[in-house]
Amino acid sequence: MAMAETAGLDPVLGFALVGVLGVGSQWLAWRLHMPAIVLMLVAGLAVGPGLGLLDPSREFGAMMQPMLAIAVAIILFEGGLTLNVHSLSDAATGVRRLVFLGAPLGWAASSAALHWGAGLSWEASAVFGGIMIVTGPTVIAPLLRQARLKRRPAALLQWEAIVNDPVGALAAVLAFEVVVVLHTASSLGAAAGEMLLGIAVAVALGIAAGWGLSRAFRNGLVPEYMKVPVLFVLLLAVFALSDGLLHESGLLAVTVMGLWIANADLPSYVELRRFKEHATILLVSGVFILLAANMDRATLASLDWRALVFVLAVVFLARPLPVLAALAFSNVPWRERLLVAFTGPRGVVLVAVAGLFGERLAQLGIPDGDRVAPLAFALVAATVVLHGFTLTPLARLLGQTATATPGVMIVGGSRWAAALGLALKKLDLPVIVADPNHAHLRHAREAGLETFWGDVLSEAAEHNLDFVTYDKVIAATDNDAYNTLVATDLAPEFGREHVFQLKRVRQTSARHALPATLGGRKLGADETYFEANARLAEGWEFRVTKLSAEFTLAHWRDKNPEAVPVADLGPGGTLRLLEPEAKPKEAEGTRLLFLAPKREERKEDRRDGNGNDTMKSG
Pure H helices in 85-150: 92-97, 103-112, 122-131, 137-147
**β-strands 431-435, 450-453: how paired?**
parallel
Write out the H or E segment, with its range, that includes residue 272: helix 269-293
The one-letter code for the residue type at 188 is L
Looking at residue 224, the DSSP 8-state letter turns out to be G
Burial (CB < 10 A; 0-12, 13-18, 19+), residue 215, is exposed
> How many other C-beta atoms are found inside a 10 Å radius of the C-beta of residue 570?
13
Nearest to 578 by CA among 557, 600, 593: 593
The sign of the CA dihedral 199, 200, 202, 207 is positive
Lowest pLDDT segment from 330-339, 472-481, 592-601? 592-601
Strand, helix or coil for residue 45: helix
Strand order in the sheet with 431-435: 450-453, 431-435, 407-411, 470-475, 499-501
CA distance 308 to 299: 15
* Helix, strand, coil share (%) of the chain residues, nearest 5: 65, 10, 30
Compare 410 and 366 and report the one with higher pLDDT: 410
Contact 78, 279 (CB under 8 A): yes
Compare 601 and 18 and report the one with higher pLDDT: 18
Contact 120, 130 (CB under 8 A): no
**CB-side exposure of 371: number of CA atoms within 13 Å?**
19
pLDDT for 410: 93
pLDDT for 422: 92
**β-strands 470-475, 499-501: how paired?**
parallel
Compare 511 and 532 and report the one with higher pLDDT: 532
pTM to 2 decimals?
0.64
Read off the pLDDT of residues 105-124 as tens digits, 9 standing for 90 and up: 999 999 999 989 888 888 88
Mean local confidence (pLDDT), 151-166: 77
pLDDT for 499: 92
Where is mean pLDDT largest: 188-202, 247-261, 574-588? Answer: 574-588
CA distance 356 to 248: 10
pLDDT at 39 over 90: no
The one-letter code for the residue type at 431 is V
Mean local confidence (pLDDT), 213-234: 86
Read off the pLDDT of residues 428-475 as tens digits, 9 standing for 90 and up: 888 999 998 888 999 999 988 989 888 888 766 766 677 777 889 999
Compare 17 and 158 and report the one with higher pLDDT: 17
The one-letter code for the residue type at 160 is E
Contact 411, 476 (CB under 8 A): yes
pLDDT for 434: 92
Contact 157, 411 (CB under 8 A): no
CA distance 593 to 614: 9
Residues 6+ away with beta carbon under 8 Å from 262: 80, 81, 82, 83, 84, 269, 273
CA distance 359 to 369: 6
Burial (CB < 10 A; 0-12, 13-18, 19+), residue 231, is buried
CA distance 60 to 76: 23
Nearest to 159 by CA among 234, 92, 100: 92
CA distance 489 to 310: 47
pLDDT at 579 over 80: yes
pLDDT at 6 over 50: no
pLDDT for 209: 92
Burial (CB < 10 A; 0-12, 13-18, 19+), residue 516, is exposed
* Region of 152 on the Ramachandran plot (φ > 0 left; ψ -120 to 50 alpha; else beta): alpha
Read off the pLDDT of residues 286-318 as tens digits, 9 standing for 90 and up: 877 887 888 777 777 777 888 899 999 999 999
Of the chain, the percentage scoring pLDDT greater than 70 comes to 82
Number of H helices and E strands in the chain, helices first, is 26, 9
pLDDT at 602 over 60: no
Mean local confidence (pLDDT), 194-205: 81
Mean local confidence (pLDDT), 92-114: 86
Contact 544, 556 (CB under 8 A): no
Sketch out the chain's domains with CATH numbers.
Answer: 2-397 (1.20.1530.20), 407-605 (3.40.50.720)
pLDDT band at 28 (very low <50, low <70, confident <90, very high): confident
Contact 201, 256 (CB under 8 A): no
Contact 156, 88 (CB under 8 A): no
Nearest to 589 by CA among 560, 552, 559: 552
Contact 367, 183 (CB under 8 A): no
CA distance 184 to 191: 11
Where is mean pLDDT largest: 245-254, 264-273, 492-501, 606-615? Answer: 492-501
